[in-house]
Amino acid sequence: MHFMRLIRGLHNLTRFRLEFAAGSVVTIGNFDGVHLGHQCVLDKVMTQARKQGLPSVVMVFEPFPIEFFSPENAPVRLMNLREKVRALAEYGVDYLLCVSFNQAFAQLSAADFVSNVLQQGLNVRQLVIGDDFRFGHQRQGDFEFLLNWGQASGCEVQAMPTMKIDGHRVSSTRVREVLAAPDLVEAQRLMGQAFRFEGRVIHGQKLGRTIGFPTLNLNPKRLQMPVSGVFAVTVKGLSDKPWPGVANIGVRPTVQGQRPSIEVHLFDWQKMVYGAHVEVRLEAFIRPEMKFSGLPALQSQIAQDAEQARQLLTDSNHSILRSEHDRL
């Protein structure tokens, strides 16, 4: 994998003065999902950076501005920060600047943002941005503002029009909609790859093993998942090849509000893997979440789900298990 430097917080920018001495090519956004629209922007940034022999920089915010200002209206994330870091590194970005979106940053005027962050911090020579981008205190900065600043400071500011597929905008919002359905085929079309998420294997209630279906309980490091239901999956990180299984993803957080419930039953798997960090890729949707009258009903349904998942994975084995997983 390409080595990408992660810069946590604006206060750390001073340590990278030398790296940005000749300038940089920058884009700014949430990049949630790193979908095909985002990939278009990244292609543009990296092409320009290579052409000019400058580093490519992606600036993201943590939390998202909407999560800071209006958490109750914030959309469910397609990726947690760790997943986004990995996706951008895989894509070949040189630097990821993760800005803490806090009260102080929210108060920063548009003029101070371009002067302190873009000019002094990153020495931006080229800025690639969505034409609907707004920034600065009370969103006073817009594309027009950046264009004028660019002309005055010798920075080329380029707008990236929104990408469309079949007349529909490719956006994180659209990806969330199709995953909520869930339409995994359309999600893959918009993202350029199947939806996947990462998590650490943790101790669960140990209920699965008592009914003959031991499961890996995962902590996905997020409060909500963009999908729910039962899925045929492949899991990376436990073996030299993706391992087939069936996963139950609960969309609602647990009673303590700490994390969604995610359980994966791996086919023909014996080993204990507590603490392992795995990647789960959704291959096919089987059914929505259900409530059961008791353990026998649950047991019988899991047996059916597992059988269906095995069948689905076997039927498409050539396309699933040998395709992009092996390429990554």
Domain boundary, last residue among 147, 165, 183: 165
Let me know whether 68 and 153 are in one domain.
yes
Backbone angles phi, psi at 42, to 5 degrees: -60, -40
Let me know whether 253 and 206 are in one domain.
yes
Let me know whether 131 and 32 are in one domain.
yes
Q: Is residue 38 part of a domain?
A: yes
Domain boundary, last residue among 150, 165, 180: 165
pLDDT at 258: 57
Let me know whether 318 and 228 are in one domain.
yes
Q: Is residue 62 part of a domain?
A: yes
- The yes-or-no verdict on residue 78 having pLDDT over 90 is yes
Instruction: Please give the sequence-ordered ranges of beta strands (E in DSSP) within the chain, or none if there are none.
Output: 5-8, 24-28, 56-62, 95-100, 124-130, 156-160, 164-165, 168-169, 196-202, 216-219, 229-236, 243-253, 260-266, 277-287
Let me know whether 160 and 214 are in one domain.
no
Backbone angles phi, psi at 85, to 5 degrees: -60, -45
**Total domain count, the chain:** 2
Peptide bond into 182 cis (omega under 30): yes
Q: What percent of the chain has pLDDT over 70?
A: 91
**What confidence tier does 232 reach under pLDDT thresholds 50, 70, 90?**
very high
CB atoms within 10 A of CB 202: 13
Domain boundary, last residue among 148, 165, 182: 165
Average pLDDT score over residue span 167-173 = 93
DSSP secondary structure, 199-234, as one string: EEEE----HHHHTT---EEEE-SSS--S--EEEEEE
Let me know whether 140 and 27 are in one domain.
yes
Let me know whether 161 and 203 are in one domain.
no
- Domain boundaries, position 265: 194-327
Q: Is residue 177 part of a domain?
A: no
Backbone angles phi, psi at 143, to 5 degrees: -60, -40
